Amino acid sequence: MANKRVMIVGGVAGGATCAARLRRMDENAEIIVLDRGPYVSFANCGLPYYVGNVIREESNLLLATPALFRDRFNIEVRTQNEVLAIDRAASSLSVRDLLTGRTYTESYDALVLSPGAAPICPPWPGIDLPGIFTLRTVPDSREIRNWIEEKKPRTAVVVGGGFIGLEMAENLAHREIAVTIVEMANQVMPPLDSEMAEYAKQQLESHGVALALGDAVAEFAHGAGNHIQVRTKSGSAYEADLVVLAIGVRPETNLARQAGLEIGERGGIRVDNQMRTSDPRVWAVGDAVEVRNRVTGQWELTPLAGPANRQGRIAADVICGRDAHFDGVLGTAVCGFFDFTVALTGATEKALRRAKMDDFQCIYLHPGHHVGYYPGAQPIHLKLIFRKSDGLVLGAQAAGAEGAERRIDIIANAIQMKATVFDLEEAELCYAPQYGAAKDPVNMAGMIAANMLRGDAEFAPWEEIQSSNEFLLDVREPAEFEAGSIPGSVNIPLGQLRARLGELPRSKEIWINCGVGQRAYYACRILVQNGLSARNLSGGYATYRVLHP
């Protein structure tokens, strides 16, 4: 039998992983990686940090060279070779060598598409002005670095407040550039629920990043003194010496579309759970494909490195005759800026609503990342979402200076393993004073949810707080109450509650808040056992403040 001939289009993340895995599975296969760019296997997640000079050497971004692929894996990598078309009937590719201009044909037994996704670059007037950049490749980041070094920009506009936009904002701030973020949504980090994004917003603003939310770029123009003027739909204008477009990415599907491969409803290449496209000899992996969300079951575009790598391995295994499967994504992601971390996994509340899954409950909590008696505890703001009917964990979002990613990782594993909140309650996690608490934030989240599911503490709906006629009770100490409280709430400190039950109405529900939710829970138990009707406001006044910023 002749050796298998595998062509891989795109040599970053999924493509590079697929190539290396293929070699490990089949020493005899002929494996060729084609990439139109000058580099393969570069650290695209590191590009913002190279702009920020946190990563100082461009060579650090190059994880593997064609020479390494050749020597270590016996894989041929052809950079600056662009695939122009796929001839599926002939099982061949038309390729152009970008250096020589020569066009040639390569046949394949198996074809893997790993073309990635390209930054969205709308046809706004003035978008070609010098000083306006996108960030996808090593040369892109080099150009921005060069611009910074040559032009010494003092102001920048980052268009887009998603993960890359925020990383860019921080890295430009490292270069002592004043940054404004223009974001169409009314929040930064659009994948997050808006109240959780509020923590990111506060952190950005406290570090001097200006935010123009709910506004969109209309056009770019020459401004005063060589600046770029960024004009928005709301009529605002921002002068900038540098503009970075970080609006998002769009899967590179041109080749796949031209070849007649199925494209999904979200605009990505449609694959089965073995990463096979609608052509059984063509696989696709990485940012260009649509994947199923494990929680909602919806198709989505999830441009993340972890799933891309996993998909590359699975495509390689399947090509080599193994029975491997990709089981979808949780969407676990993390973003860090200004010593602050925001992370999420599983479904958000908005994703569940989009998927019309309404059997869920959200809770909020604000525990320290370690015990309070050890110095330096930082709050973790945590939102846990679980299925109301059985407690299945559906998603979590966390924000904080320390330990947010650790709790999201634990919950990501829990969701993968189909854990319930009762399992989180029992989780046995690392505790020493500098690391956590005997009741870790993950345990606390599980307990709060489990208390509700067992009927011990019901939650009042935060979204009705301003329109409701129920009785609002605040059980904090008077000094806390006076420093800020929910309008219309009445203060009876927890310690006085048993003696003052007579002050509470029996004709209304009593909606209870405290600082972060713990005392309200205690109060709720007292009231309910005394025959009153009571519910907690999850996460207390700390939650109120991000819901009503």
**Residues in 318-377 that interact with a copy of itself by CB under 8 A:** 327, 329-336, 341, 343, 345, 371, 373-375
The Cα–Cα gap between 154 and 325 comes to: 49
Complex with a copy of itself: residue 231 or 535, whichever CB lies closer: 535
Distance CA 427, CA 143 (A): 48
Q: Is 466 left (phi over 0), alpha (psi -120 to 50) or beta?
A: alpha
Q: How far apart are CA 310 and CA 200, in angstroms?
A: 29
The active-site residue out of 45, 320, 362, 524 is 45
Question: DSSP alpha helices (H): ranges in 358-503?
Answer: 404-416, 421-426, 441-453, 478-482
* Coil vs helix vs strand at 275: coil
Among 3, 71, 100, 260, binds a copy of itself (CB under 8 A): 71
Q: Tell me the closest approach of the beta carbon of residue 454 to a copy of itself, in angstroms.
A: 8
Q: Whole-number minimum distance, CB 342 to a copy of itself, in Å?
A: 10
Our CB check for a copy of itself shows the closer of 24 and 353 to be 24
Per CB under 8 A, contacts with a copy of itself among 134-153 are none
Q: How far is the CB of 209 from a copy of itself (least distance, A)?
A: 18
C-beta separation of 92 from 219 below 8 A: no
* Choice between 472 and 523, CB closer to a copy of itself: 523
Instruction: Give the binding range for a copy of itself (CB under 8 A) out of 18-26, 110-118, 142-150, 347-355.
Output: 18-26
Q: Per-residue string for binding with a copy of itself, 24-63, x by CB under 8 A?
A: xxxxx--------------x-xx--x----xxx---xx-x
Restricting to residues 74-133, name those near a copy of itself by CB under 8 A.
Answer: 74
Task: Choose which of 131, 153, 286, 307 interacts with a copy of itself (CB under 8 A).
Answer: 307
And the tokens for 219? 């056009």
Cα maximum dimension of the chain: 89
Each residue 500-519 as x (binds a copy of itself by CB under 8 A) or -, in order, gives -------------------x
Give the range of 113-121, 133-141, 243-251, 304-312 binding a copy of itself by CB under 8 A.
304-312
Q: Are 196 and 397 in contact (CB under 8 A)?
A: yes
**Per-residue interface string for the shown chain with a copy of itself, residues 472-491, x marking contact by CB under 8 A:** --------------------
Q: In whole angstroms, how close is the CB of 438 to a copy of itself at the nearest point?
A: 4
Place of tokens 């949810």: 449
Place of tokens 């936009």: 165
Looking at beta carbons only, is 63 or 184 nearer to a copy of itself? 63
Binding mask 412-441 for a copy of itself (x = CB under 8 A): xxx-xxxx---x--xxxxxxxxxxx-xxx-
Dihedral pair phi/psi, residue 437, rounded to 5°: -150, 155
Under 8 Å between Cβ of 332 and 306: yes
Q: Where does this chain touch a copy of itself (CB under 8 A) — which range of 198-206, 226-234, 242-250, 524-532?
A: 524-532
List CB contacts of 146: < 8 A, sequence separation 6 or more. Answer: none
Between the two ends of the chain, the Cα-to-Cα distance in Å is 68
Per DSSP, the residues of 84-126 read: EEEETTTTEEEEEETTT--EEEEE-SEEEE---EEE-----TT
2 binds a copy of itself (CB under 8 A): no
- Residue 123 C-beta: closest distance to a copy of itself, Å: 31
Q: How many residues bind a copy of itself (CB under 8 A)?
A: 85
Residue with smaller CB distance to a copy of itself, 20 or 32: 20
Is residue 18 flagged as an active site residue?
no
Please report how close the Cβ of residue 333 comes to a copy of itself at its closest, in angstroms. Answer: 7
89 CB-near residues (< 8 Å, 6+ apart): none
Stretch that binds a copy of itself, among 30-38, 409-417, 458-466, 478-486 (CB under 8 A): 409-417
Among 35, 300, 405, 474, binds a copy of itself (CB under 8 A): 405
By C-beta, is 201 or 310 nearer to a copy of itself? 310
What distance in Å separates the CA atoms of residue 307 and residue 285, rounded to the nearest whole number? 9
Cα separation of 489 and 111, whole Å? Answer: 64
Of the candidate residues 245, 410, 452, 465, the single one contacting a copy of itself (CB under 8 A) = 410
The pattern of x and - marking residues 188 through 227 that bind a copy of itself according to CB under 8 A reads ----------------------------------------
- H-assigned helices in 5-106: 14-25, 47-51, 66-73
Best CA proximity match to 251, nearest among 315, 303, 291, 329? 303
Q: Which of 515, 391, 378 is nearest to 446 (CA)?
A: 391
Helices 540-547 + 194-206 axis angle, to 10: 80
* CB closer to a copy of itself, 327 vs 482: 327
- Residue numbers annotated as active site: 45
